[in-house]
Chains A and B, each alone.
Chain A
């Protein structure tokens, strides 16, 4: 401490380098390392080729005039208006009814028939788009009454050949699709993010501001 009187002047200029080093270091930490650490990644129990199933040349039996209707063929609305979500095995078996004879020749199908159909075991799918428990989201109000395309919220999921890994926020348990893939929070497509503000934005845009009342979407 004895040479403090002049050390302050000396270190001023060199010291700024330390400041900048700290600054840049934290930028790397915050923008690169943090997002990697925050999200877990988990593969789906098996692959499902949406593109294949939606292709009338390859798979028939999935009926519907519009894209939405085709989606709804498997991702059904029940009679009471509730949404069944990811189909149960039962639904798959409407076509893949025989564990012995595959309809196609993909390895996934074989996997599916041997591991699940034959064993009568439900596939433990991981849902990319599940909202947290506090949210009540009626698909019927949007898809049927609001005529919203599946794509609006789910993007081109139906065109995927491979199911991407399920990534969840380690802290909140949210699927990455809810908060948004981009750590910056920037949003370019309607399906990039599914937080409350995004729901509200759409309601407002479509002139349904009354649907921004709390109890419309919360339970």
Chain B
């Protein structure tokens, strides 16, 4: 009996036979399957107690109410709120995916940082908050010591009128710099048009839900215009309970979602919306369909008049009759004359017609004359301050803070005026012109700008002609970013003072854009900050305090919350409002009650406390139909002919003829026409012979297009003929593509005089012939793998002209050509 091979085999056979009558093979089979069910690398979300907290979304100026579902201290889901009047339901997809902007360490700055590598390299070093604050404080103090505080420039993208914006501007003023600039948005254009025609500083308020005929001039109602939660909800209502009662007509050059889903799509040549609006006005006049009572009693400059100097002035009506007959407008816009007449008739015959403007989402500014033309159209049908029209409001009674007390250094700095020339003779109506900064910095050898503070903005990505900003930032000595995100602009910064992101941050949401009644939301933090970030408001206050007496005196608050609460003094003392909404009757239904509202709070403290829980103050009341004393224009009337433009031109004409002034303002019209809404042919640097197509950047609701990055979830909703791997698609009409010999999916270079980007061709019957459409919101060069190098950013090749009169960038008229690669 030796252990030879055969016996060993027998031993093994015995073993194999034996093992099968033990649990081992069976349990291992079972356990290995169970192992695959519990792979250690598959995350197991921890259990805990569920809770929901409500707050307000600040990812766009729309300010939807949101509810955040939490498991213990983790936020797991964002949902819409039914007790918030802006959006009685879900928010937009960006808001829905917001948690991905909170819990992603690759796109966030988790602590203050200092640049160590070359600019733009993204090489940063961790520093402490003390070091960070001291670095910036030292820089600012240095500027004051050198007596050039005006070399401090801020680029701010926080919503207009928000406390954070106020504090930043205040810091600059206290320092002695008037160079506070803002990222231009549709709100700026609205503001200017409002001032010029209505004399009113309140935001443009559209009584959408009460209108029965909505004529939108390129406003992307379904692409995120205004407060998306509100507009989409209204849309559902128009197609639901109110089926057939409200008609929607979309003026657009492309079969966008809004155009397709509207009752009627009026296809216009890109950029000719103003001409169409004026053509409609012409029909209203010739067919006598306009509101004669309103024009007679409350308007100025419609009929001919004799001015004080005895000159006979033709007026708006004459301008319409002369230049905007349907046949002419048809040639300008490509819309058949008969359709113009029919549309005008339908519009005028509606009970509550409302014309809208603001290109796309309104994240970018629009054309001032176009906005004025649309406003004029509303006025012609008597739609100003009428139920279902454009409502005229005063500014919110939020406390503006006491005036800045400038010390000697500051006063000297402030006297030097603004670098960008906003408010100057050339740009009399602009408040800030960030688009002028690059040329100012780049043209001089030593830049007049020393330090730039960037707050809630990503100019390198979001502004048209972004290349110029990159060159500017390469030259500016010191850049400070408050961005919580590793965005393109932050990558250029020398110092990062990361802000909290929205769910960690206390913020006021001032009047969601386009809303027809005053509303302030309070976006409360729903979780403790995840990282070592700091509220930008607190940083600004801290900085001011660190800069010593002259500056610190203007910042009497301990922290942002205190400053914020102080602003609500105005609300508490002003017209009564409500701090809760039960969701039963929408405010737009009850608004007609006039001013008859009883405040549900007693004092500032009471209001503040109630706002902490409901996150809301609003005033669902409006004095419809009141027009007397409404308009704060020099004539006290709605001005079809803006006397303020006339005045500005006159003031300047001493320095040359009016024609010269107009030329400087970029206005091609001459004489009285310049003071009235009119159509200005888009000017573009590109020669149509070499650049045969017009580039139309368009926005999508399922991509964030402002400074906020898109949550990765959104890419599930992007089609593969919009983005495929690293390529975004340029939409072309099949006919246009055929002429250029391009096929679906083909890679092309989109070239403009300003640069070129790569894209693929997407054939779309709904694209206007002769135009090339590129989506905004793709083509990041910063952030993480989910966002970086995906698609192209059309801003890079846009050659922004100046919008006539407003001075803001005109980004809708760049010409391009496509080259196969």
Contacts and interface: CB of A to CB of B under 8 A. Distances in A.
Do A and B come into direct contact in the complex, CB within 8 Å? yes
B403 interface: no
A93 interface: no
Contacts of A29: 19, 22, 24
Nearest to A4: B6
Contacts of B44: 133
A27 B19 CA distance: 6
Interface residues of A, number: 38
Contacts of B31: 38, 169, 171-172
Contacts of A15: 6-7, 10
B15 A183 contact: no
A159 to B, nearest CB: 27
Contact of B34 (A16, A82, A171): A171
A34 B8 CA distance: 23
Interface residues of B, number: 35
Contacts of B38: 132-133, 172-174
A48 to B, nearest CB: 20
A14 interface: yes
Interface in B15-34: 15-19, 21-25, 27-28, 31-32, 34
Given A11-B6, A38-B27, A20 B21 contact: no
A18 B11 contact: yes
A52 to B, nearest CB: 27
B35 A14 contact: no
Interface in B35-49: 35, 37-38, 40, 44-45, 47, 49
A34 B22 contact: yes
A34 B14 contact: no
A23 interface: yes
Contacts of B45: 133
A26 B37 contact: no
Contacts of A171: 28, 31-32, 34-35
Given A132-B38, A171-B34, A174-B38, A24 B1 contact: no
Contact of B15 (A16, A22, A174): A22
Interface string A135-179: 000000000000000000000000000000000010111100000
Interface in A1-34: 7, 11, 14-27, 29-31, 34
B13 A80 contact: no
A30 B50 contact: no
A172 B28 CA distance: 10
A118 interface: no
Contacts of B21: 27, 30
A134 B37 contact: yes
B37 A132 contact: yes
A85 interface: yes
Contacts of A26: 14-19, 22
Nearest to A130: B47
Interface string A85-108: 100000000000000000000000
Given A15-B10, A19-B13, A82 B23 contact: no
Contact of B18 (A25, A172, A184): A25
B49 A27 contact: no
Contact of B23 (A7, A23, A31, A174): A31
A36 interface: no
B50 A80 contact: yes
B12 interface: yes
Contact of A23 (B17, B24, B40, B49): B17
A185 interface: yes
Nearest to A170: B31
A78 interface: yes
B52 to A, nearest CB: 10
B11 A21 contact: yes
A216 interface: no
A21 B8 CA distance: 10
A22 B8 CA distance: 9
A38 B19 CA distance: 16
B49 A82 contact: yes
B37 A24 contact: no
B34 A17 contact: no
B26 to A, nearest CB: 9
B37 A11 contact: no
A15 B49 CA distance: 65
Nearest to A185: B23
Nearest to B19: A26
Nearest to A24: B18
A173 B16 CA distance: 28
Contacts of B11: 18-19, 21-22
A143 to B, nearest CB: 17
A173 B40 contact: yes
Contacts of A23: 14-15, 17-18
B16 to A, nearest CB: 7
Contacts of B6: 7, 11, 15
Nearest to B23: A183
B10 A22 contact: yes
Specify which of A22, A85, A132, A172 lies most central, judged by the most chain B CB atoms within 10 Å of its CB: A22
B11 to A, nearest CB: 4
A15 B4 CA distance: 10
A202 interface: no
Contacts of B18: 22-27, 30
A132 B34 CA distance: 10
B23 A19 contact: no
A204 B49 CA distance: 31
A84 interface: yes
A34 B23 contact: yes
A15 B32 CA distance: 35
B24 A11 contact: no
Specify which of A14, A18, A85, A172 lies most central, judged by the most chain B CB atoms within 10 Å of its CB: A18
A22 B27 contact: no
Contacts of A183: 23, 27
Nearest to B49: A78
Contacts of A16: 10
Given A15-B6, A133-B38, A22 B49 contact: no
Contact of B24 (A14, A30, A133): A30
Contacts of A34: 22-24, 27
B347 to A, nearest CB: 52
Contacts of B47: 85
A30 B19 contact: yes
Nearest to A78: B49
Contacts of A11: 4, 6-7
B10 to A, nearest CB: 4
A89 B219 CA distance: 56
Interface string A25-55: 1110111001100100000000000000000
A22 B40 CA distance: 36
A21 B14 contact: yes
A82 B50 contact: yes
Given A14-B7, A132-B37, A169-B31, A22 B23 contact: no
Contacts of B17: 19, 22-23, 26
Interface in A65-95: 78, 80, 82, 84-85
Nearest to B1: A14
B30 to A, nearest CB: 8
A184 B11 CA distance: 25
Interface in B583-618: none
B710 to A, nearest CB: 29
A83 to B, nearest CB: 9
A18 B1 CA distance: 9
The 8 nearest A-B residue pairs measured at CB: A30-B22, A22-B14, A26-B18, A22-B15, A19-B14, A23-B18, A30-B24, A23-B14
Given A31-B22, A171-B31, A171-B32, 10 more contacts: A7-B6, A23-B18, A25-B15, A26-B17, A31-B23, A132-B37, A169-B31, A171-B34, A172-B35, A183-B27
8 contacts: A19-B13, A22-B10, A22-B13, A26-B16, A34-B22, A133-B44, A169-B31, A172-B31
Interface of A: 7, 11, 14-27, 29-31, 34-35, 38, 78, 80, 82, 84-85, 132-134, 169, 171-174, 183-185
